[in-house]
Amino acid sequence: MKKCLISLLLLLAVACSNFSSIEKYRIGKPGESEMIMPLFTNQIPEELQFLRLKAGPLSRRDMKSNLYSTLKSRMMATVLDTANTGVGIAAPQVGISKQLIAVQRFDKEGEPFEFYVNPIIENYSQETQWGWEGCLSVPGERDTVLRSTQVVITYRDQDTWEMARDTVSGFTAVIFQHEIDHLNGKLYID
Ligand SMILES: [Zn+2]
């Protein structure tokens, strides 16, 4: 009996996650994992207000859930949408206030998209450079932004949950700065 109760509690712990009910609704079911998610933009006051929120961290438990894998898959479908392609995306842009970003690694062979959980920028280079930026959440606009040319990021490895660190430069460093700003409620137009 006691063993049974412990198993039930463990099962409940795995089943529960940090995702709010509205977030669960937005992420949808695993069967919808190829579907593009609606982008939150600065054109709608309520959505802009949401984009201004500071995103919460993901837990190890969240990462084991179906919701997490569906969310990743749908974020990929959204950033690769041929009608509106991007080079990076942050979960708040699809209405999920969690610290998850996807970045196209132009500094790696094959330029793959990679996900980063709870990423923070540990160090910004003093050297900066102006560059053109656009954002899926600020449609129809582009502007120049001053960014560090190199950053050191720390994040959770999505398989091992170990803390990981990476030093990134060039355009990929700009994407990391842009996407991590989203997690702090900041848009490039700020
Ligand atoms: Zn953006």
CATH of the domain at 156: 3.90.45.10
- pLDDT score recorded for residue 158: 82
Range of the domain at 50: 2-183
* pLDDT digits 0-9 by tens, 68-120: 999 999 999 999 998 889 999 999 999 999 999 999 999 999 999 999 999 99
162 counts as catalytic: no
Q: Are 54 and 183 in contact (CB under 8 A)?
A: yes
141 falls within a domain? yes
Specify the 3-state DSSP secondary structure of 39: coil
The answer, yes or no, to whether residue 56 has pLDDT greater than 70, is: yes
Per-residue pLDDT, averaged over 11-36, amounts to 82
Helix (H) and strand (E) counts in the chain? 6, 7
Q: How far is the CA of 60 from the centre of ligand 1 (A)?
A: 26
Report if residue 190 sits inside a domain. no
Number of domains in the chain: 1
- Please check whether residue 155 is in contact with residue 180, taking contact to mean a CB–CB distance below 8 angstroms: no
Report if residue 120 sits inside a domain. yes
Spacing, Cα 187 to ligand 1 middle (Å): 6
Q: What is the DSSP code (8-state) at residue 64? A: T
Pairing mode, if any, of strands 163-169 and 138-148?
Answer: unpaired
Q: Exactly one of 23, 47, 133, 179 is catalytic; name it.
A: 179
Residue 188 in any domain: the answer is no
- Per-residue model confidence as pLDDT tens digits over 162-188: 999 999 999 999 999 999 999 999 999
For residue 117, is it within any domain? yes
